[in-house]
Amino acid sequence: MTSTIDPKSIGRPARPHRHARTLTGYFPEKDASGKDKWPRGDEKAWKDGQRSVDKDVKSVTRNFVGHVQTSLARQAYNLDDFGAYQAAALSTRDDLLVNWNNTQLTYTRKSPKRAYYLSLEFLMGRTLDNALLNLGLKETFSDGVQRLGFNMEDILEQERDAALGNGGLGRLAACYLDSSASQELPVWGYGLRYKYGIFQQFISTDGEQLEAPDPWLDNQNPWELPRLDVIYDVRFYGHADRLNDGTPRALWQGGQEVLAVAYDVMIPGYSTATTNNLRLWESKPKRGFDLNSFNAGNYEGAVEASNSAQAITSVLYPNDHTYVVLFGKELRLKQQYFWTAASLADIIRRFKNLGKSMQEFPDYVAIQLNDTHPTLAIPELMRILIDDEDLRWDNAWGIVTNTFFYTNHTVLPEALEKWPVPLMEHVLPRHMQIIYDIVLDFLLAVEKKFPGDRERLARMSLIEEGVPKQVRMAHLACIGSRKVNGVAELHSELVQTTILKDFVEFEGIGKFGNVTNGITPRRWLDQCNPELSTLITNTLKLKKSVWLKDLTKLEGLLPFAEDKVFRAKWAAIKQRNKERLAHYVQTTLGLTIRTDAMFDVQIKRIHEYKRQSLNILGVIHRYFTLKKMTAAEKAKVNRRVVFFAGKAAPAYYIAKLTIRLIVNVARIINADPDTKEYLQLYFLPDYSVSLAEVLIPASDISQHISTAGTEASGTSNMKFCLNGGLLLGTVDGANIEIAEEVGENNVFFFGHLTPAVEDLRYQHLYHPVPIEEKCPALAEVINQVSTGAFGDGGVYEPLLNTIRQSDYYLLTDDFDSYIAALDMVDEAYLDKEEWVKKSIRTTAKMGKFSSDRAINEYAESYWNIEPTSVPPEGY
């Protein structure tokens, strides 16, 4: 029987239907002449020479049923929602494969310069809905599966998010791959095929974060193509012996050899036949089961090599350095080398197929390092060019420094990656030799330009002195790359004036630039907020394919902010998105959320610099303020529902305490009869792309409240604003540029500015002022937590002491300003008509923040690559 759904819940996450059913609509109705009658779907023609898609409901259902019977070996009368998802995915993949093969053939024939995006994370989200959108087949597929007795919403819910990332770094990489394909740019991604990803997050009854493996690959992944013929050897350990033949060559041998096996994921462009590739590497043993050990009774030894190899791509480790133990660091180092070595081997193989000299390598290859994680690719390419290709050192270094480009994502000193020299010498002996050679040449050049400046030499060296010595990966990425960029105007300025200041003075400002981050409007507006996308399309009187690929067209919405009818439609969509989120929380957590309130959202990785702690302390302040009010005073207060979501690194104790405090505060607030009508608080566990797609469209206000100068850019701020949610934040990262675009009267800023931060930290250290004198309001909140208002106060003392003592992230300095900004938000929200106007204006001015703009900046100003159109199929 076909399941039904309330029309108001379109787009709402639905409970999965696990029962099997018959494909009721497989046999079509007859028309008056006795012929099969098939409803037509949304036939879409791609113009400008692109392949025309003329796929009707009949062909969709035929292909669907074919996969049910042959790929899944199921009967048409015995299929549950998960089986329907598998059949739909395989049917969609058939269309992707045609474009994917055609794209690869075009690149082979035209031999354009290609860019390769190396990222340790790719937070792709669900694929089916995005693939159907980009292929122009959403309505046709929806009609087809409905005719077969299924609901598309139920089918989409069966897909698990690919566990290939943790936070903004991975989501940015996913957006850039989408934009590269949509802009017809020859760009491939390279990453690791993590078996378990980061972790599934659960919250215990006392609010503690619990981690469990995320076995996202337990079921067949229809979106990947195993490339068992694309395999490379990767070596670890052993010894490297210089050849003493007058060259810098060496012979690296012995140690452990591991196989890198390729898995390809198709990346379709929107409204184009271009379908690029994300190649993921899985580690496998070169020699698996040891039969001799097994026969000798050494059962553990028989599988030791296999387990050691497979561990490399088992789990994504968090970026925070607080988790580090010796084994963890060694495995992380092996992950990074395994991935970069396999990727470079693959890139060089493809280049050699062109029949060109290695001197021409930079003319055909650009490699983007997404943060410092892929930096080992620099000494690895040097190793290949010197040891395998027999190039002179200067020639090899010239090729390297014209091939790589480095994006820095942080100015936090503790987040700048370093590797202990003894560990590097143990795991990668040949690369440590090469790094020492690079250090020698580089410091000689620095000494020549700045003679006698020993302090400068120490600051710029790739090796940081200490016990043990450390290899500074950001320095290596900087000197080994052609260009270096930050990801927001403020961040890029800080990179050039702080952590890389010496390198700017040495190499010149021309090497250093900025590319402000962006997001793909396909997923972060059309896919996650389809009603708003339709309203925009109808209002602008433009085809969706036009404005989704030129987001500046949204400025056409500005006059409609004064249109009362349009504002009512806009507000109604926001309300339905709130109801959708409330439905999700009710069905997944069993909690009831009121939807006649302001929705206040902060969702991102839990970290001290992102200051979720400031937010929850502000919620507590609001709670006790409400407790002191009379009933008449409360009646004038805005109702507010506050949402948190995000994961803390497993060993990041302070971050996990922050989650625990949020959960336990929520337990008290939501049950308090004096306040629960005016304030609710929820922590939504296991944050993911799919959860963000429900939270973001529902927000009225979102919080981006990092300490000034600590957030490189942020992209969730862009996603919220694109969906008409206003921004509450510090003058940090991309918040600044968003305010420049949408107007500061449409954002709510607070807090100290970046130039004041270091002085304030100095005062905390050398001239501390008791918190009771400096910020009495915050002192009262901390005292309430400490004395047990939300459970055992002693549990939270380590978190509270980070504020009472050094307060590195300046909560005491910004708290009063933060509370004042929240009051401004409340006052503005009272005027609902003006609030909707602000929402419309915010969306209308978000054109700059499309990842299409960002990727074109990389293509033109960094990689020097051009669009390569894929000819229509069959031409």
Q: Of the candidates 215, 323, 660, which has an alpha carbon nearest to the alpha carbon of residue 332?
A: 323
Q: How far apart are CA 308 and CA 306, in angstroms?
A: 5
The DSSP letter of residue 525 is I
CA–CA distance, 527 with 807 (Å, rounded to integer): 41
Mean pLDDT over 714-736 rounds to 97
Of the residues 171, 409, 511, 841, which is catalytic? 409
Q: Is the dihedral of CA 173, 176, 182, 187 positive or negative?
A: negative
pLDDT the model gives residue 303: 52
- Whether 342 shows a pLDDT value over 90: the answer reads yes
Edge to edge, the sheet with strand 701-704 lists 679-683, 640-645, 598-603, 701-704, 726-730, 747-750
Q: Domain range holding 71?
A: 7-116+128-156
| pLDDT for residue 190 is more than 80 | yes
Report the pLDDT value the prediction gives residue 219, as an integer from 0 to 100: 85
The Cα–Cα gap between 85 and 223 comes to 12
pLDDT at 294: 54
Cα–Cα dist 427/238, whole Å: 8
d(CA 857, CA 864): 10
Q: Is 610 a catalytic residue?
A: yes
> Catalytic site residue 349?
no
Longest dimension (CA), the chain: 95
User: Which of these, 465, 375, 482, lies nearest to 421 by C-alpha position?
Assistant: 465
Write down which residue in 106, 141, 156 finishes a domain: 156
Confidence of residue 15 (pLDDT cuts 50, 70, 90): very low
**Contact yes or no for 341/234 (Cβ under 8 A):** yes
Q: Which of 171, 574, 604, 640 is catalytic?
A: 604
Give the Å distances, CA to CA, from 167 to 213, 316, 687.
17, 12, 10
pLDDT of residue 306: 66
Q: Does the annotation count 704 as an active-site position?
A: no
What digits encode the pLDDT tens for the residues 87-103? 999 999 999 999 999 99
Task: Give the pLDDT of residue 324.
Answer: 44
- Whether 293 maps to a domain, the answer reads no
3-state DSSP assignment of residue 181? helix
Contact 18, 82 (CB under 8 A): yes
In the prediction, which pLDDT does 22 show?
Answer: 57
Whether 230 is covered by a domain: the verdict is: no
Give the integer Cα–Cα distance in Å for 284 and 338: 11
Instruction: Give the model's pLDDT for residue 873.
Output: 62
The whole-number average pLDDT for the span 332-338 is 96
Closest CA to 268 of 178, 189, 186: 178
Q: Is the pLDDT of residue 4 over 50?
A: no
Q: What is the pLDDT of residue 412?
A: 85
Pairing of strands 187-192, 275-285: parallel
Asked, for residue 504, whether it belongs to a domain, the answer is no
Which of residues 247 and 439 earns the better pLDDT score? 439
For residue 6, what pLDDT is reported? 31
Asked whether residue 42 is assigned to any structural domain, the reply reads: yes
* Closest of 95, 185, 99 to residue 872, by C-alpha: 99
% of the chain surpassing 70 pLDDT: 90
Mean pLDDT over residues 246-254, rounded?
A: 93
Catalytic-labelled residue, pool 719, 837, 845, 853: 719
> Per the domain annotation, does 606 fall within a domain?
yes
Residue 56 pLDDT class (50, 70, 90 cuts): confident
Among the options 235, 383, 610, 845, which is catalytic?
Answer: 610
Q: Summarize pLDDT for 369-405 with one digit per residue, the tens.
A: 999 999 999 999 999 999 999 999 999 999 999 999 9
pLDDT at 399: 98
Span of 283-287, 353-357, 742-746, 783-787 with lowest mean pLDDT = 283-287
User: Does the active-site annotation cover 715?
Assistant: yes
Q: What pLDDT shows up at residue 167?
A: 83
pLDDT at 191 over 50: yes
pLDDT band at 215 (very low <50, low <70, confident <90, very high): confident
pLDDT at 414: 77
Neighbours of 17 (CB within 10 A): 18
Task: Please tell me the distance from the alpha carbon of residue 569 to that of residue 588, in angstroms, as a whole number.
Answer: 29
Lowest mean pLDDT among 88-92, 127-131, 137-141: 137-141
Which candidate, 314, 155, 166, 119, places its Cα nearest to that of 687? 166
* Average per-residue pLDDT for the chain: 90
User: 814: domain CATH number?
Assistant: 3.40.50.2000
What angle do the packed helices 811-830 and 612-628 form, to 10 degrees?
60
Structure tokens at 299: 């059962």
Query: Is 235 assigned a catalytic role?
Result: no
Task: Name the domain count of the chain.
Answer: 2
**DSSP states of 320-351 as a string?**
-GGG--HHHHHHHHHHHHHHHHHHHHHHHHHH
d(CA 641, CA 341): 48
pLDDT recorded at residue 295 = 58
- Residue 295 has a CB neighbour count (10 Å cut-off) of 9
Query: Which of 240-249, 723-732, 737-746 shows the lowest per-residue confidence on average (mean pLDDT)?
Result: 240-249
pLDDT band at 42 (very low <50, low <70, confident <90, very high): very low
Rounded-to-integer distance, Cα 665 and Cα 201, Å: 19
Extract the runs of DSSP E, i.e. beta strands, from 41-176: 114-118
Note the Cα 552 to chain centre separation in Å.
23
Residue 650: asked if its preceding bond is cis (omega within 30°), the reply is: no
Q: What is the CA radius of gyration of the chain?
A: 28
pLDDT for 653: 95
Q: Is pLDDT above 80 for 242?
A: yes
- Is the per-residue pLDDT at 27 higher than 80? no
Check residues 52 and 311 and name the one with the higher pLDDT: 311
- pLDDT tens-digit readout, 476-497: 999 999 999 999 999 999 999 9
- The token duo for 741 is 């675009």
pLDDT per residue over 770-779, tens digit each? 999 999 999 9
What band does 687 get if pLDDT is binned at 50, 70 and 90? very high
126 as an active site residue: the answer is: no
- Which of 605, 640, 841, 848 is catalytic? The answer is 605
- In this prediction, residues 412-436 reach a mean pLDDT of 94
Tokens 């003058």 map to which residue? 731
Placement of tokens 């300046």 in the chain:
810
Residue 224 domain-assigned (yes or no): no
Set 313, 707, 715, 843: catalytic member: 715
Beta strands in 11-166 (DSSP E): 29-30, 36-37, 114-118
Tokens of 632: 């008449």
